[in-house]
Amino acid sequence: MNKLTSQVKVLVVDDQPLIVEELCEFLESSGYRCVPCESSPQALERFNEDCDIGLVLCDLHMPDMDGIELVQALQRIAGNQRAFEAIMLTGRADKQDVIKALRAGIADYYQKPIDLDELLQGLQRQEVALQERQKTLQLGHLNQKLQDLSTSIDGLYQDLDKVRRSPGTPAPMANEAEPDEIPAIFHQLSPRQLDVARLVGKGQTNYQIACELGITENTVKLYVSQVLRLTHMHNRTQLALALSPSRSGMRHQVTAH
């Protein structure tokens, strides 16, 4: 089977060139692209240069730097921005070495002489695990971007609110609720969060709120989620009741939370 089936590259590291050659030939015939290395320093250089490397096969006992030290060095290079899975190959299956390897984050190990079919199955399992880790990593980055965006929008709105409150700015409309007209628990909200909360209180949908405030529906959802968390409310219905014009019976319940 010569057709490539994986976009992930495999870093193959062993100080014995014949083993590296045999492993690479087998894995490439099974659909993987391999990066052969005959030393740990060479492996570090290749890993640092090639972000497509996501799987690592390395020998345990190597000069200069053993397999466990190599994987730990690769982890330092990867940091929080990159994920990879490592499999250890060893000619001497010492129990303490295996325990040390697993504690270092190495996913699996195989004893030499290696059963290539068994190794291939293990590599395929680690590729699936890698895909899940990469998804989690990407979601974490996206969530951080959303938080940064939310903070930026809040900062801009606070600046706008300062301008509106400066001398000469028209007073708010009579039907707009002032901060002292809402339960105390809402005073901790930012101006933008409070705007979203008030519009929820008026029964508006996320789409309507987005149109009125000039933001996206996803941003509205983010604000609603933040408001519910900060006010310890369970859903937007409870939030709407707390801020509705006829909330007199609700005021005591919310402020006494």
18 is in which domain, residue-wise?
9-140
With cut-offs at 50, 70 and 90, classify the pLDDT of residue 246.
Answer: low
Q: For position 256, what pLDDT does the model report? A: 42
Q: pLDDT tens digits, residue range 174-218?
A: 444 444 467 777 888 888 888 888 888 888 888 898 888 888 888
The CATH number linked to 223 is 1.10.10.10
Q: pLDDT tens digits, residue range 104-134?
A: 889 998 988 899 999 999 999 999 999 988 8
Q: Does one domain contain both 236 and 186?
A: yes
Q: Does one domain contain both 114 and 212?
A: no
Radius of gyration of the chain (CA): 29
Mean pLDDT of the region 39-64: 94
Judge whether 78 and 58 are in contact, CB under 8 Å. no
> Total structural domains in the chain?
2
Q: Does one domain contain both 36 and 100?
A: yes
Q: Does one domain contain both 182 and 88?
A: no
Q: In this predicted model, which residue has the larger pLDDT, 88 or 162?
A: 88
Q: Does one domain contain both 109 and 186?
A: no
Token pair in block for residue 93: 């299956």
Q: Does one domain contain both 190 and 67?
A: no
Q: In this predicted model, which residue has the larger pLDDT, 116 or 4?
A: 116
Last residue of a domain, one of 85, 114, 140: 140
* Cβ-proximal residues to 189 (8 Å cutoff; 6+ apart), any chain: 197, 227, 230, 231
Q: For position 161, what pLDDT does the model report? A: 66
Query: Hey, is 205 helix, strand or coil?
Result: coil
Would you say residue 197 lies in a domain? yes
Indicate whether 93 pLDDT > 80. Answer: no
Q: Does one domain contain both 203 and 136?
A: no
Beta strands across the sheet bearing 53-59: 33-37, 9-13, 53-59, 85-90, 108-111
Q: What is the pTM of this model?
A: 0.56
